[in-house]
Amino acid sequence: MHFEMMEALENLERERGIPVETILDALANALVSAYKRSPGAAEEARVTIDPDTGEMLVYAQELDEDGNVVREWEDTPDDFGRIAAQTAKQVIQQRLRDAKREQVYDRYQGRQGDLVTGIVQQVDHRYAMLDLGDAEAIMPSSERIPYERLDRGARVKALVLEVREEGKGAPIVVSRSHPDFIKALFELEVPELTEKVVEIKAIAREPGHRTKLAVFSNDPSVDPVGACVGARGSRVRQVVNELRGEKVDLVQYRDDQQQFIAEALSPVRGVREVRINEEEKEAIVIVPDGQLSLAIGKEGQNARLAARLTGYRIDIRPESNPEGLPIESPEEAAAEAEPTAEAVDETSESTEAEAVAEASTEEVEATPEVAAADEPAEAPAEVEVEVEVEVEVEVEVAEPVEEVAAEESADDAGAEDTKQAEDTEKA
């Protein structure tokens, strides 16, 4: 068994490049730990492994107060071969993982910012695992494009963000949401960027939605925007396809900050004026009324990206209101122009009150005594006098209707008696 194990270790050295001595040292340390867990084991021990035969022996040790070995004796357990076999398996597997990790680290060290292509092996809400062929890479959820669906087995590109020497998991961390991922995609499609004829001066990105790039040409005969767009948009189309439809705005970088800010608000055209405050790093941009919503963008996205690209806080105003004065809405204007029902009622009540006051004043003026009393000896320029007037009204009450009717009945009865008396005398 020992001979077979040594032969396997030699094969690993040839195939994986792991030295046999490294594995034997790790195995000896693991066997010491396994021995100490056995019943009746000494507190201190060491394990020796013969590199030719693979024979393993355990030597128990007794130490003094200073840690020096006072006595040493062989104390190899009877079933130590079984323990050694299990331990050797675990140690070899761990050493294989460590060796692979070291090889990956050596191969990818210094490649931060490079573009790699991998096949999606595993996806969940925490991370996505990519197979790069000679290594595995992990893409945390924070480095993924929001709402992007990565199907298992799909081939995708990613940016090498970090190469870790120690720690659990894959040593390579990749990203698809980093702004430099856009830069790496354009460098893959635009040879002028690789040759340094065209440079990317600034990038502002909201992953999954929109990206703005400011490009500059070191050669006056080369249009930087046209070079990145390509013939009939072929170059930028490749980038957009890899981004699953994310919008990309290419603007030309300008040394004139006013002109650069106007360019950064693309796709807006016809910017009327740009006012810059260098101390506060603020800019006021006047745009045509019809371009205002386009300049601001959905939920302010276009203005926000333009501010990140230029480094200025941008205030966008319409041409009809360049000073940013508060604008009265049509509803407010109509409300001010048309009085409400309550206002009409109050006006009516005040009008009636004024009429009553005027009538009372006329009555007062018509009464000589009151008028004379109201006239002061020395009247000031303007005096407001409140006069309460009590008007006595004499009412003539008509006689009761019943009494009048009784008198009329009595008169009629007397007339009839007189008439009867006259008729009797004649007879």
Q: Average of pLDDT values for 195-201?
A: 94
Looking at domain 110-175, its CATH superfamily turns out to be Nucleic acid-binding proteins (2.40.50.140)
345 vs 272: which has the higher pLDDT:
272
- What's the CATH fold of domain 2-108? N Utilization Substance Protein A; Chain:P; domain 4 (3.30.1480)
| Residue 380 half-sphere exposure toward CB, CA atoms < 13 A | 4
Structure tokens at 89: 């398996």
Count CB atoms within 10 A of the CB of residue 107.
13
Q: CATH number of the domain at 271-343, out of 3.30.70.20, 3.40.1010.10, 3.30.300.20, 3.40.50.1370? A: 3.30.300.20
Handedness of CA 271, 303, 204, 234 (dihedral sign): negative
Q: Is the pLDDT of residue 372 over 90?
A: no
Q: What would the DSSP string read from start to end of 264-327?
A: HTTT-----EEEEETTTTEEEEEE-GGGHHHHH-GGGHHHHHHHHHHSSEEEEEETT-TT-PPP
pLDDT given for residue 332 in this prediction: 52
pLDDT given for residue 214 in this prediction: 96
**How far is residue 268's CA from residue 319's CA, in Å, rounded to a whole number?**
14
Q: What is the pLDDT of residues 21-50, one digit of tens each?
A: 877 888 888 888 888 877 778 888 888 888
160 CB-contact burial (10 Å; exposed 0-12 / middle 13-18 / buried 19+) = buried
> 178-253: what CATH class?
alpha beta
**Which stretch of 19-28, 128-137, 194-203 has the lowest confidence by average pLDDT?**
19-28
3-state secondary structure of 309: helix
* Greatest Cα-to-Cα distance within the chain, rounded to the nearest angstrom: 190
- The distance in angstroms from the start CA to the end CA of the chain is 183
**Which stretch of 81-85, 152-156, 296-300, 372-376 has the lowest confidence by average pLDDT?**
372-376
**Which stretch of 84-93, 116-125, 140-149 has the lowest confidence by average pLDDT?**
84-93
CA angle (397, 399, 405) in 5-degree steps: 155
Q: Which of 125, 102, 108, 204 is nearest to 160 (CA)?
A: 108
Domain ranges of the chain: 2-108, 110-175, 178-253, 271-343
pTM attached to this predicted model: 0.64
CATH topology identical between 178-253 and 271-343 = yes
